[in-house]
């Protein structure tokens, strides 16, 4: 789910409900429903959630806490970005829990 949508939800939900949310982009949600893995793909997080992938810049990669605090999503920083998958980000080549010899393992 894109950051502007998450920001909108944070402003229109009770803090208690918002704290219980997990945010997925469609491919990551399908992986979660199929495998139970809450890992998020680098592609989804980079394109839609302001994640800086390894090798993109010489600076540190990952989440940029200052950005989230500045736009009003400091609660995501406080819980270690768990609602966005935390640091469980997978490379495009990872199979994300797909078992060998399944229809999707090729």
pLDDT tens, 18-31? 999 999 999 889 98
User: Is residue 101 included in any domain, yes or no?
Assistant: no
User: Is residue 74 included in any domain, yes or no?
Assistant: yes
- The total of structural domains in the chain comes to 1
Decide if 40 contacts 65 (C-beta within 8 A): no
Confidence of residue 106 (pLDDT cuts 50, 70, 90): very low
Tokens of 76: 């995501």
* Sign of the CA dihedral running 40, 44, 45, 49: negative
pLDDT tens, 32-91? 999 888 888 888 888 888 888 777 776 666 888 999 999 999 999 999 898 998 866 766
3-12, 13-22, 85-94: least confident range: 85-94
Q: How many CB atoms lie within 10 A of CB 48?
A: 17
- State residue 87 phi and psi, 5-degree precision: -105, 10
Q: Which residues form the domain of 7?
A: 3-90
User: Is residue 98 included in any domain, yes or no?
Assistant: no
* pTM given for the model: 0.74
């Amino acid at each position: 789910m894109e950051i502007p949508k998450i920001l909108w939800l944070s402003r229109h939900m009770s803090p208690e409900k918002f704290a219980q949310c997990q945010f997925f982009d469609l491919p990551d949600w399908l992986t979660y429903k199929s495998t139970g893995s809450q890992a998020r793909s680098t592609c989804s997080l980079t394109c839609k959630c302001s994640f800086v992938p390894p090798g993109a810049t010489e600076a540190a990669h990952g989440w940029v806490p200052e950005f989230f605090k500045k736009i009003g999503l400091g609660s995501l920083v406080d819980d270690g970005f768990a609602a966005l998958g935390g640091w469980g980000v997978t490379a495009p080549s990872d199979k994300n829990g797909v078992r060998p010899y399944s229809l999707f393992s090729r």
